[in-house]
Structure 1
Amino acid sequence: MKLFDTAPVSPQLARSLQACTNAWKRIESEFGLLSSGQVAELLGRSAENRNLASKKRRAGKILGVARGNTYRYPGFQFDRDRGTVRRVIEPLIALAGENGWPPEDVVLWLCAPSTYFHEADRPVDHLEEPERLLAAAQDQFEAD
């Protein structure tokens, strides 16, 4: 009985997988990929209130991405000074869902340079410009 497929992986697939891994490492390094306890604390609840993040993720109020056997929550979606979720996140999640975009793809899109913005800024750099960010997202999500 074979445990693994012995077919070689193409160089293109290997590069693609490595690029994706590198992107997640950059996101974690720059913004953090928060645990459910960290999200609860950030939003002013007890760290033991781990269900808060899950409830908000399932309700389409925050982005959560599967990492290993748990969900992690990109830190950019939170206003840490106010202890709130940025107001653009919920409509962005709704727009993504309408167009079949999974949360992982939304997070990667947010953190990649986009020609929609001046000098190919990343969409994540425009979280405080909800109308502009949502217009860029709509163009991208509906184009695919």
Structure 2
Amino acid sequence: MTMPHEAVSPPMARSLQAAESIWRTIEQEFGLLTSRDVAELLGSRKPSGSIASTLRNDGSIAGIMRGNSYRFPGFQFDTDHGSVVPVMRDLIAVARENERSDEDLVYWMTSPSSFFHEQDRPVDHLHDKERLLAAARDQFEGTF
């Protein structure tokens, strides 16, 4: 039995298209890793998805749902050392404490920010922990 589909308004269609474009840009620049990719990158002896799931659940890495599985933005991994960028746990904690999703965090990380005098993106400051966390708190804890 086929269910009738509701028509999508033009503004909603544009919004969905814009969101898809953002995810594709993130994938092109940083990669959106599968669970198996994460396991291999982190040197797991058994490259299954369980390590990525554990890390996502405990707030060590951000995961976004793409299709029917999670994908993990590559910027949160130090590929030279086969590890997670340490600041990610703190960033995820700030976002989750403020009821923001991993998707919200990833969007923010990859978007230009006026917090930085360079007007660049938070992802460009992954190795400046204090400055990056201050920007995250400013973004997610700010009141209007």
TM range (shorter): over 0.9
For 1:119, the aligned partner's letter is E
Alignment partner, residue 24 of structure 1: 23
3-state SS, counterpart of residue 66 of structure 1: strand
For 2:137, the aligned partner's letter is Q
- CA distance in 2 between partners of 1:39 and 1:2 (Å): 37
Alignment partner, residue 4 of structure 1: 5
Q: How far off its partner does 1:17 sit?
A: 1.8
- CA distance in 2 between partners of 1:137 and 1:96 (Å): 8
For 2:90, the aligned partner's letter is P
Q: How does 1:63-142 map to 2 (within 5 A)?
A: 63-142=62-141
Percent same amino acid at aligned positions? 53
- CA distance in 1 between partners of 2:41 and 2:72 (Å): 11
For 1:68, the aligned partner's letter is G
Alignment partner, residue 32 of structure 2: 33
- CA distance in 1 between partners of 2:30 and 2:81 (Å): 16
Unpaired segments ≥5 residues, structure 2: none
- CA distance in 2 between partners of 1:39 and 1:48 (Å): 8
3-state SS, counterpart of residue 118 of structure 1: coil
- CA distance in 2 between partners of 1:92 and 1:17 (Å): 26
Q: How far off its partner does 1:4 sit?
A: 1.1
Q: How far off its partner does 1:143 sit?
A: 2.1
Give a deviation string over 1:14-33, Cα, whole Å, max 9, x none. 32222211110010000000
Considering only aligned residues, what root-mean-square deviation do their CA atoms show, in Å? 1.5
- CA distance in 2 between partners of 1:35 and 1:4 (Å): 31
Residues 37 and 47 in structure 1, CA contact (< 8 A), matched pair in contact too: no
3-state SS, counterpart of residue 5 of structure 2: coil
Q: How far off its partner does 1:47 sit?
A: 5.2
- CA distance in 1 between partners of 2:18 and 2:5 (Å): 23
For 1:4, the aligned partner's letter is H
- CA distance in 1 between partners of 2:51 and 2:3 (Å): 43
- CA distance in 1 between partners of 2:6 and 2:63 (Å): 31
3-state SS, counterpart of residue 118 of structure 2: helix
Aligned residues, how many?
Answer: 142
Q: How far off its partner does 1:49 sit?
A: 2.8
